[in-house]
């Protein structure tokens, strides 16, 4: 990089470069460089990351790497991992990486080393989960606990739900684990269906212990418990994972049943904290720590690998290129694995809650093209739903495919091979369109190609590899935030909606007057009126 070039100059060069490159198609780029598949792929930990089917050439990557350097990405990551207050709107550290750091490290927050308290929480989690896994945790009536219901929403649900499902073949076979996040009463009813209160515990995860959905779920769970085991023994069936001990104890959770969520862990970055308790109960402490080791490996590689082989940086640079230069506002996430079915939802929160912001430190030349809409579904289902649009729709939607070489069961490898064949076929057709021998195709059957995609391929879906994937997604999100000038760690947009809902609910329940609503706007006023009319039908 030429050190005299600042961010705006690099952005102008990138814009010029985009104009030149837009004259070339992916077919031409592949024809011009027969080894493009190796030139634009890298090994990163145990992952193979292939960005060769993106609309880029080597100049694109060089210029984007300059942009990352001018944005001081590495320094930001070092500050983040050192516990400096990188969450600038709340003046807080974002220290999820400390959770998987070596137990002999020293990471200070306000002068206090956070590692001993992390170790203490992990030891408590280990004891607790071993107790359940060995059938030794008894409920109020003396019956062993065999069912765990996780209550929580957003970052207090999606990470552990996604990972639990991903690692389902590592689960303890005799423990029934279920998740519930919605305030819609139907969901808790269905979740509890067939469970026995005497053998069920609720693990309530809420960093704030202030989230309406979670508190309502907890209240309903308590009623369900009370009905069969009475108020007395109820506390044996309630576990809290929170940054707010006081609120949790006020609501009936015993001190000893609380696992601390430090203030410096953001919800969507919290899987490696006590928020992973349900996952630890399911897969056991050994596998849970393998997951953390996978994360640690990527933490390290993200800091140390040069940009050419730095998977985190490359994925983030592609996100920036597609969104801010090629102007593609959305990205489809497509895992070719049923066990990874919650990946799109998990990434939706991680990336959209972190990067969906128009407030920026410096505006630079990105205009309003910052942060992408993330959506998607598992590969085979997606192929039969939205892939038609991906291949021939009027908008170009970049895709990110995730595949695994080995099945969890060798006897089922044939189906694993089919999954990968499908993944490869789709990326090929997206990039290169209908094959050349079929050039006589009628226009409606023709695929033009030139639609970008990335492939992440891993050997097998294990805790260690899942840990690598999660850390990769976390860091990629942070890096994009740094380059775009967005604070990846706050979520003020969501917070404001929450407080408006509280006011409206008071009014629906006729606890407050309609005056505030009237002052707000005529649409909300009318909708509220209609709601009340429909309610009486």
CB of 208 to ligand F6P, least distance (A): 3
- Considering only 208-216, 293-301, 470-478, 479-487, which stretch makes contact with ligand F6P by CB under 6 A? 208-216
Q: Supply the DSSP symbol for 174.
A: T
- What is the distance between the alpha carbons of residues 471 and 455, in angstroms, rounded to a whole number? 17
Q: Which of 106, 136, 384, 526 is catalytic?
A: 384
477 is an interface residue for ligand F6P by CB under 6 A: no
Nearer to ligand F6P, 426 or 491 (CB): 491
Strand-pair partners of 200:
147
Q: Which of 16, 21, 5, 58 is CA-nearest to residue 314? A: 58
Asked whether the beta carbons of 40 and 56 are under 8 A apart, the reply is yes
159 is an interface residue for ligand F6P by CB under 6 A: no
Asked whether the beta carbons of 486 and 355 are under 8 A apart, the reply is yes
- What is the distance between the alpha carbons of residues 211 and 370, in angstroms, rounded to a whole number? 28
467 is an interface residue for ligand F6P by CB under 6 A: no
491 is an interface residue for ligand F6P by CB under 6 A: yes
- Considering only 139-147, 148-156, 245-253, 383-391, which stretch makes contact with ligand F6P by CB under 6 A? 148-156
Nearer to ligand F6P, 206 or 310 (CB): 206
Q: Which of 353, 400, 474, 507 is catalytic?
A: 353
CB of 290 to ligand F6P, least distance (A): 25
If you write DSSP's letter for every residue of 331-376 in order, what string do you get?
Answer: EEEEES-GGGTTHHHHHIIIIIIHH--S--S--TT-TT--S-EEEE
- What is the distance between the alpha carbons of residues 445 and 430, in angstroms, rounded to a whole number? 14
Residues 348-387 contacting ligand F6P, CB under 6 A: 353
488 is an interface residue for ligand F6P by CB under 6 A: no
Q: Which of 320, 332, 312, 316 is CA-nearest to residue 370? A: 320
Nearer to ligand F6P, 237 or 268 (CB): 268
The question of whether 236 is a catalytic residue gets the answer no
Quick one: tokens of 249? 């104890």
- Considering only 84-92, 201-209, 457-465, 475-483, which stretch makes contact with ligand F6P by CB under 6 A? 201-209
| Contact with ligand F6P (CB under 6 A) among 207, 236, 301, 451 | 207
- Considering only 81-89, 186-194, 207-215, 384-392, which stretch makes contact with ligand F6P by CB under 6 A? 207-215
- What is the distance between the alpha carbons of residues 88 and 468, in angstroms, rounded to a whole number? 27
| Contact with ligand F6P (CB under 6 A) among 208, 369, 434, 524 | 208
CB of 267 to ligand F6P, least distance (A): 3
- Considering only 5-13, 131-139, 150-158, 248-256, which stretch makes contact with ligand F6P by CB under 6 A? 150-158
| Contact with ligand F6P (CB under 6 A) among 54, 97, 147, 156 | 156
Residues 214-233 contacting ligand F6P, CB under 6 A: 214
How far CA 269 is from CA of 1, 160, 219, 252, in Å, comes to 32, 11, 27, 27
Q: Are strands 453-458 and 399-404 parallel, antiparallel or unpaired?
A: parallel
From residue 237 to residue 276, what is the string marking binding to ligand F6P with x (rule CB under 6 A)?
Answer: ------------------------------xx--------
The question of whether 353 is a catalytic residue gets the answer yes
CB of 68 to ligand F6P, least distance (A): 26
| Contact with ligand F6P (CB under 6 A) among 41, 60, 97, 211 | 211
Which 3-state string (H, E, C) describes 106-165?
A: CCEECCEECHHHHHHHHHHHHHHHHHHHCCCCECCCCCECCEEEEECCHHHCHHHHHHHH
96 is an interface residue for ligand F6P by CB under 6 A: no
Quick one: tokens of 162? 């996604």
The question of whether 357 is a catalytic residue gets the answer no
Residues binding ligand F6P: what is the number (CB under 6 A)? 14
- What is the distance between the alpha carbons of residues 438 and 304, in angstroms, rounded to a whole number? 46
> Tokens 């995730």 — which residue?
402
Q: Supply the DSSP symbol for 87.
A: B
Asked whether the beta carbons of 302 and 310 are under 8 A apart, the reply is yes
Nearer to ligand F6P, 350 or 432 (CB): 350
Q: Which of 212, 361, 498, 526 is catalytic?
A: 498
481 is an interface residue for ligand F6P by CB under 6 A: no
Residues that bind ligand F6P (CB under 6 A): 153-156, 206-208, 211, 214, 267-268, 353, 491, 494
By annotation, the residues acting in catalysis are 353, 384, 498
């Amino acid at each position: 990089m030429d050190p005299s070039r600042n961010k705006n100059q690099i952005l102008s060069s990138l814009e010029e470069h985009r104009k030149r490159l837009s004259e070339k198609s992916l077919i031409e780029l592949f024809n011009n460089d027969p080894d493009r598949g190796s030139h634009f792929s890298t090994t990163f930990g145990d992952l193979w990351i292939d960005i060769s089917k993106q609309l880029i050439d080597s100049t694109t990557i060089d210029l984007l790497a300059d942009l990352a350097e001018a944005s001081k990405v590495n320094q930001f990551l070092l500050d983040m991992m050192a516990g400096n207050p990188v969450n600038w709107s709340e003046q807080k550290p974002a220290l999820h990486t400390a959770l998987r750091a070596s137990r002999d490290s020293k990471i200070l927050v306000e002068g206090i080393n956070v590692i001993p308290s992390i170790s203490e929480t992990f030891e408590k989690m280990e004891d607790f989960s071993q107790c359940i896994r060995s059938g030794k945790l008894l409920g109020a009536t003396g019956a062993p606990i065999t069912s765990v219901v996780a209550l929580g929403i957003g970052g207090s649900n999606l990470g552990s739900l996604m990972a639990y499902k991903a690692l389902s073949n590592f689960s303890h076979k005799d423990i029934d684990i279920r998740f519930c996040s919605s305030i819609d009463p139907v969901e808790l009813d269905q979740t509890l269906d067939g469970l026995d209160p005497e053998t069920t515990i609720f693990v309530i995860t809420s960093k704030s212990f202030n989230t309406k959905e979670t508190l309502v779920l907890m209240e309903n769970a308590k009623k369900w418990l009370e009905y069969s085991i009475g108020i007395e023994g109820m506390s044996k069936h309630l576990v809290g994972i929170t940054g707010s001990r006081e609120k949790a104890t006020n609501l009936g959770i015993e001190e000893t049943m609380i696992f601390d969520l430090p203030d410096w862990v953001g919800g969507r970055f919290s899987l490696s904290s006590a928020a992973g308790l349900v996952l630890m109960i399911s897969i056991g402490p050994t596998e849970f720590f393998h997951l953390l080791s996978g994360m640690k490996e990527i933490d390290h590689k993200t800091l140390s690998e040069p940009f050419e082989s730095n998977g985190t940086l490359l994925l983030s640079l592609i996100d920036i290129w597609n969104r801010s230069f090629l102007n593609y506002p959305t990205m489809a996430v497509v895992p070719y694995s049923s066990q990874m079915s919650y990946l799109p939802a998990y990434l939706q929160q991680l990336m959209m809650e972190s990067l969906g912001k128009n407030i920026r430190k410096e505006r630079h030349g990105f205009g309003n093209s910052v942060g992408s809409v993330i959506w998607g579904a598992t590969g085979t289902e997606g192929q039969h739903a939205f892939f038609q649009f991906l291949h021939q729709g009027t908008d170009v939607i970049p895709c990110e495919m995730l595949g695994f070489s080995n099945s969890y069961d060798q006897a089922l490898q044939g189906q694993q091979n089919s999954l990968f064949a499908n993944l490869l076929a789709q990326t090929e057709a997206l990039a290169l369109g209908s094959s050349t021998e079929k050039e006589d195709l009628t226009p409606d059957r023709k695929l033009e190609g030139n639609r970008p995609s990335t492939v992440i391929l891993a050997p097998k879906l294990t805790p260690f590899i899942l840990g690598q994937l999660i850390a990769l997604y976390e860091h990629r999100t942070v890096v994009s935030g740094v380059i775009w000038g967005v604070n990846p760690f706050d979520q003020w947009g969501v917070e404001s909606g929450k407080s408006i809902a509280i006011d409206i609910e008071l009014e629906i329940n006729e606890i407050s007057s309609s005056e505030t609503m009237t002052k707000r706007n005529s649409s909300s006023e009318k909708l509220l009126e209609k709601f009340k009319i429909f309610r009486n039908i």
